[in-house]
Chains A and B, each alone.
Chain A
Amino acid sequence: MQQVESIQAEPAASAATAKLGRAIVITSGKGGVGKTTTTANLGTALARRGARVVMIDADIGLRNLDIVLGLESRVKHHLLDVLEDRVTIDDALVGDKHSENLFLLAAAQSREKDDVETPKMQALVASLRERFDYVLIDCPAGIELGFKNAVAGAQEAIVVCTPEVSAVRDVDRVVGLLGNRFRPQLVINRLRPHLVKKGKMLSVEDVNAILRLPLLGVLADEPEIIVTTNRGEPLALRTENATGAAYHAIAARLAGDDVPPPMPPVPKPTLLERIGSLVGRKRS
């Protein structure tokens, strides 16, 4: 009887150690570019693909991922409860409303970022990698200890950048800080194609001529994101929406599928613009 047990246990154990999940930090340097929204939607999209996903809100003191996912009323324990051994990890994980394989580990709201001990954070992420296919870490803005702790346990990084001078500069800085340990992948968020077309906004090419990072995908400045955040239902639940579908394409790329990076549709030229482009051509 004992023998049978050990024979059964072994392949299971070796399978678990052989395939550790991927710990990916979502960061940007600058605040307000869409890290939390990206984390929530990527988590949702990856879970919809059947992957087991846990999202960690590492923004201690400014908990937000729970509210974007609509899970705020279910959070009973948080990251620091786990790190300081007050509760087990299973007590603190909150199951998502919409996706079975998706879990949240919320940030502590009444504590500070400096309260996290880096080695404990690393150990936690390592233990979660044994149980989940993806550990998505929502990094706080800034480059201080909160950033360092969020990055500590990760092997991969996604940087979120909006087509703005300040955001690009901050991403450039963050990529420098991430150093050689990471080869960050880029998500460009809140692009307004009609402004790019008019030359009023940095284009994808402009941004990546500077950052030179592998492009995961580009997301439009989508009004529906505001609505979905109001409701606590990630847009990735609605694949009929172009941006919702774009999150799925990014998730697919992250998972290794050979699909092109999603791009917001280029608006058709208006009559006025067509005349305008003729005038522009004459000039050059």
Chain B
Amino acid sequence: MHALRGVSLEVMDGEIFGLLGPNGAGKSTLVKILMTVIHATKVSGAMLGKPIGDRLTLEDVGYLPEHHRFPYYLTGNQVLHHYGALAKVTRNDRNARASKLLNRLGLSGWENKKVGTYSKGMLQRLGIAQSLMNDPKLLILDEPTDGVDPVGRREIRNLLAELREEGRAVLLNSHLLSELEMVCDRVAIMVKGEVTMQGTIDSLTKDSKRYEITILGSIPDWATACCDEIQNNTMIIHGDDPVAIQPTLDRLRADNTTIISVKPVRENLEDLFMRAVDNKDSPGAIQ
């Protein structure tokens, strides 16, 4: 039985890459293989120019696992120092980064409190701070906004955008499609251990771009010939070229038809995700 098969991904510097898929798709397994938490039967590829599984590479990788658990007896500051030291960060760097990161993640004032007293959202933010202690070139975050309130989520989104600006590569694994859509440059959708779709959200939704023209009253007979779909009093014309819909609009005007709205529409990430998951004939689907 294979948890993952033929997964091929490329994450660039200064890019936020979203990894999405239903439960059991193998997203966390993939991330764990990259972080040497799981041993793959066979794996080829490189991470930061070194073979996957090379432990020294991990010095430049930050990782936030899903459902992480910090030792209850440590304070926030001690957590950062402990995991920083394990990541071979020198004491001076740890001292400099810990307070900066706690501040950046909105945890200043909590640095000397035991993590047992932290809320779920605070633990999540501390987890992100921990993953940044080694000043990583690649950041792998597994469900980073899990349990975080909307304000916190926005802060994390902003932080991710800043990290991108700093030239770091971020691999984001999340169920929250709307979050990913707002922040990711590219996404990959995994289903049953394989990547079924991969690219920028724009390129993946390109085929779904269309114009929806809603009119008052019933659709005239001639319209069936010049539009791709009709839904009640809405005409749907596929494509993203506004020039292509002008003749139809002219004719509607000439017929004195009242036009209620003309909307350019494209699939959102959720539609795309549902399409990838539902599409049993997708090239990567394991039957």
**Are A and B interaction partners?**
no
Interface, chain A (partner B; CB < 8 A) = none
